[in-house]
Structure 1
Amino acid sequence: MGLTETSDPSTVHFSPPTLADGAEVYQLIKASPPLDVNSQYCYHIVCEHFAKTSVVARLDGAIVGFISGYTLPQHDDILFIWQVAVSTKARGKQLASRMLQEIIARPRAVTIRFLHTTISPSNIPSQKLFLAFARSANAPMREREFLDARVFGEGHESEMLYEIGPIRHVNSKPIK
């Protein structure tokens, strides 16, 4: 059973990823262009080492969404969101937004004051996701060039850095 127009989106369950989720996350990323696909090993490491700042969304036991994030070693108040993926069968249900809210609502996240991410200029859905997050958090958002396309070589766009914050937390509850 997929997530359809009549499905109750509350049946999607969120949790920190585990080492065992790496292979399924890898398959989700592969099926989610234009995301850059890293090695399966990389996703096992991300799921294990960054579980507190990442999330998987499951529907009927299958992973239909994933966000990887980590706090910057030199700035533990900055959460960097690395990749956001939502399965085609779960799109259009605000799942990416709900996963982002899940991470920010965790007790560990109360020390996070800023959210950063990079987005290529053509990735309009991601731009809209983070703009909506900034609005819901009543937080300013700044955009600046981060990586010029020339550093990637052929076939990759520039990456713009989006900086959102400061983010205000209210008793570790999700930002509306």
Structure 2
Amino acid sequence: MSEERIGVATVGGNPITLIGPELKVGDQAPEFTVNKDLTEEATLSDYNGKVKLISVVPSLDTRVCDAQTRRFNEEAAKLGSHVAVLTISVDLPFAQSRFCTVAGIENLDTLSDYKFHTFGKAYGVLIKELQLDMRSIFVIDEENTIRYVQYLKEMKEHPDYDAALEAVRSLL
């Protein structure tokens, strides 16, 4: 059974339970398997040798998640090919693809944690009550060591974009 962290975050001010460990700077990034589409999977290992900025959003169909994904898409274009920017949500791959087409998202990978929630459980962001991944940011270096992490305390708040981007730039 996975660790449960009760009351460490809220949705609209209501406490929620996060499943999985609270990862910290210096921890080895856990492996995960998510979906690119219904049949093709992606893992952390697929991005070996790159700096990884992982932007976790509950659902691309919400205002803050939309803004977060658009912001990191814009920044990804400036970071270069040595950086992989990933947006992970539990949205179905169809919905992610539609969102990217409509929003013009083409500089980052959208990945779905819908099938097994391995990302959410490994990174301590799976919301027990909602089966969504809690908004968070992880910056992982080329050797898969976590160099920056932000777990949001309230789902509806924006992450600290500048701090996350500075963490990425410090690794280049």
TM-score, L = length of structure 2:
0.28
Question: If you compute each CA radius of gyration, which structure gives the higher value, 1 or 2?
Answer: 1
Greater relative CO (CA pairs within 8 A, separation 6+): 2
